[in-house]
Copies of this chain bind each other. A is one copy, B any other.
Amino acid sequence: MKKFEEKTLLSQTLYEGRIINLDLEEVLLPNGNKSKREIVRHPGAVAVIPITVDGKVVMVEQYRKALERAIVEIPAGKLERGEEPELTARRELEEETGYECKQLTHLISFYTSPGFADEIVHLYVAEGLSKKDHKLDLDEDEFVEVLELTVEEALEYIQEQRIFDAKTAYAIQYLQLKRQMDQNNG
Residues of A participating in the B interface, judged by any CB pair closer than 8 Å: 2-6, 14-15, 17-20, 22, 24-25, 27, 29-31, 33, 35-40, 42, 45, 61-71, 73, 76, 78, 108-119, 121, 140-141, 143-145, 155, 158-159, 161, 164-167, 169-170, 173-174, 176-177
For residue A25, which residues in chain B have a CB less than 8 angstroms away from its CB? 65
Give the shortest distance, in Å, between A31 (CB) and chain B (any CB): 8
The reply to whether B119 and A113 contact each other, CB–CB distance below 8 Å, is yes
A66 CB contact (under 8 Å) in B5, B14, B39, B68: B39
27 residue pairs of the A-B complex, CB under 8 angstroms, read: A4-B62, A4-B63, A4-B145, A5-B70, A18-B38, A29-B141, A29-B143, A30-B143, A33-B141, A35-B141, A37-B65, A37-B66, A40-B40, A40-B66, A45-B115, A66-B118, A67-B114, A71-B111, A78-B115, A108-B161, A111-B166, A112-B113, A113-B117, A113-B166, A170-B170, A170-B173, A173-B177
The reply to whether B67 and A33 contact each other, CB–CB distance below 8 Å, is no
Copies of this subunit: 2
Chain A binding surface SS class = mixed
Give the shortest distance, in Å, between A176 (CB) and chain B (any CB): 6
